[in-house]
Structure 1
Amino acid sequence: MRAIRRTIAFALVGALASTAQAAPEQSLIPVARPSVEQVVGPTKLRPVLRPVSAQVLAVAARPTALPLLGPDTSLMPYLRPKALEQEALFKKRKLRKGSVCGDIDIQGKPVGQVPGKIKACGIKDAVQITSVAGVKLSRPSTMDCGTAIALNKWVDKTVKPTFKRRGPVVELQVAAHYACRTRNNQKGARISEHGKGRAIDISGFRMADGELVTVLNGWRKNPSKKQLTKIWRGACGPFGTVLGPNSDRYHRDHFHLDTARHRKGPYCR
């Protein structure tokens, strides 16, 4: 029995020895996973398109006014209708015909020399203004071209932008223009700039919806107070003298604007 056991033990030892001699000298490298092409073949996978909605189909089915253009073709604007073009040309000719002082935005007619009833009054080359910068005057106003140009600049650069949201402004309320008189109609005073055709008084501003913003009622309350103050300040520069409600009792209901020049610059009060 012992002999049998000894024989089996020798056999096991021999088998282990032969296995150790046959072991590899390097560790085994893991096999790489197969590629997608090896698994599913050479066909590439593509995303599935979403189904087109009924709304998109309806829009695509609408007839188009323009033919389909290639990428090399630019869209050209449509030409104006001939009637519209002629109407614009006619309107421009009409404005040019009615303009004075060399500016199409100043509409009116030439008056020529206006003699004064008293000494120092009168205008050499007077014009009668009906609108400036597209804004009408409540009545035709006589003045010289220097005053008309200043009025046009003030309305265009200050009055219209100030009332842009509230307006647009369509009319200036004229309280006074040319008049051969003394300052504030005071006896013995110097001749007013009104008597020389170099002044105009504005008492209010009418909007497109009919609203009237007056200097008398609007000067003390907002938002008119803020807008009127801005307009008053904007006149100081185009005009040499600007008087408003804060100047004296004679100007509590209007702005006096004249083109007199002063040594120290514009006088604004």
Structure 2
Amino acid sequence: MRRAAPLVALLVASGAVFADAPDTSLRPIVRPAILETEQPQPVAPARALYTPTRPVARPADLTQITVRSPAPVQAPAPARQTGEGAGQHRPRIQQPSARGGLMASLRPLLRPLGIGRKAQERKRKLARGAVCGDMAIQGEEVGHVPGRISGCGIDNAVKIRSIGGVALSQHALMDCQTARTIKAWMQQGMAPAVGGYGGGVAQLRVAAHYSCRTRNNRKGAKISEHGKGHAIDIAAFQLRDGRTISVLNDWGSGKKGRMLRKMHRSACGPFGTVLGPESDRFHRDHFHFDTARYRKGSYCR
């Protein structure tokens, strides 16, 4: 060590030692302790950042909710005008209509008294003229009709003037069973066959109804169903526009002929006997319908 001391002193004196050494130490500076205030705070989870708003509980009694009608909106007051135009144009404040408001009544408007009275009067009129317990069958009750020969007559006769709003050209005498059958056929057979042609049927042209006689007026023949109040003969159908569908003139020709065939066919079933132009020479100009019943079913020709 004593030998090396002069060498070190010489090196220091000459400036050779530590000439290339760095001015500062390369060792890292000791990091100061992290302050508690600077410590990273824990990040809240995503769910904690969103707090859902719970719906308000629905009241048990909804009738307690009070609906307030909106206050009427008042238009701003117009500025005062001076000069020539003053007082000429004043804006009108429109008041909210009670009919179109939020609390407008939902009840329908009352019908005019005149219409209601007419409807009631029509019902009373129909009720007074109804027979067979059906307001659609209008006429009058006749009661017992005796026959001049054995087998004729009607026990509880009615005289019919219209059925279902369709008039009869002459008041027809019959029993209620026949009147109800005619009504059913008119609704289910006649009306669909004619449809809207000519506005529909307005009147039945009745060729015959009650008549105390034999079949086809033959001597010695059986009593006709006409003599029992069970039959009606129809010669034509008067339409609402004035036109006519005639059995004699229109059977077998064109559109009217097809309507007549449909009416004839639809009567077979409701009526016991249905005869038309193709049955015999006695029925070439009319339909014969009656309510007789046979063991083998309806007789239709």
Task: Give the TM-score category using the shorter length.
Answer: 0.7 to 0.9
Letter in 2 for 1:196: K
More contact order relative to length (CA 8 Å, sep ≥ 6): 1
Aligned residue for 1:10? none
Q: CA deviation at 1:213?
A: 0.8
Q: Which moved more, 1:77-86 or 1:215-224?
A: 77-86
Following the alignment from structure 1 to structure 2, what is the Cα–Cα distance between the partners of residues 92 and 147? Answer: 24
Q: Pick one of 181, 202, 207 that aligns with 2:213.
A: 181
2:234 aligned residue (175, 197, 202): 202
1:207-258 C-alpha deviation (Å, 9 max, x unpaired): 1111111101111211011111111111112211111111111111100000
1:106 alignment counterpart: 137
CA distance in 2, matches of 1:157, 1:78: 37
1:156 aligns with 2:187: yes
Query: Which of residues 113, 117, 124 is equivalent to 1:82?
Result: 113
Which is greater in Rg? 2
Instruction: Report the Cα offset of residue 113 of structure 1.
Output: 0.8
Name the TM-score, length of structure 1 as normaliser: 0.72
Q: Secondary structure at the match of 1:111?
A: strand
Residue in 1 that maps onto 2:224? 192
Distance 2:237 2:105 in 1: 47
Displacement of 1:157: 2.0
CA distance in 2, matches of 1:264, 1:233: 18
Is the 8 Å Cα contact of residues 99 and 105 (structure 2) preserved in structure 1? no
Residue ranges of structure 2 left out of the alignment (5+ in a row): 1-96
2:294 counterpart of 1:262:
yes
* One-letter amino acid matched to 1:240: G
TM-score, length-scaled by structure 2: 0.65
Aligned partner (choices 222, 235, 255) of residue 254 of structure 2 = 222
Give me the whole-angstrom Cα distance separating, in 2, the residues matched to 1:73 and 1:171.
49
Deviations 1:7-51 (A, max 9, x none): xxxxxxxxxxxxxxxxxxxxxxxxxxxxxxxxxxxxxxxxxxxxx
TM-superposed CA distance for 1:86, in Å, is 1.1
CA distance in 2, matches of 1:209, 1:179: 32
* 2:285 equivalent in structure 1: 253
1:148 match: secondary structure: helix
Residues 1:127 and 1:66: Cα distance change in structure 2 (over 3 Å): farther
Match of 1:195, SS?
helix
> How do residues 1-269 of structure 1 correspond to structure 2 at under 5 angstroms?
67-70=99-102, 76-166=107-197, 167-269=199-301
Helix, strand or coil: the match of 2:219?
A: coil
CA offsets per residue over residues 45-81 of structure 1, 9 Å max, x none?
xxxxxxxxxxxxxxxxxxxx984354x8685533221
1:152 deviates by: 1.1
What runs of 5+ residues in structure 1 fail to find an aligned partner? 1-64
2:218 is matched by which residue type in structure 1? Q
The answer to whether the 8 A contact 2:98-2:104 is kept is no
- Structure 1 runs of 4+ aligned residues shifted over 6 Å read none
Question: Cα distance, 1:264 vs. partner?
Answer: 1.2
Please give the per-residue CA displacement for 1:145-204, whole angstroms capped at 9, x wherever unaligned.
110111111112222232231132110000000001110111111110000110000000
CA–CA distance in structure 1, aligned partners of residues 111 and 100 of structure 2: 23
Q: What amino acid does structure 1 have at the position aligned with 2:256?
A: S
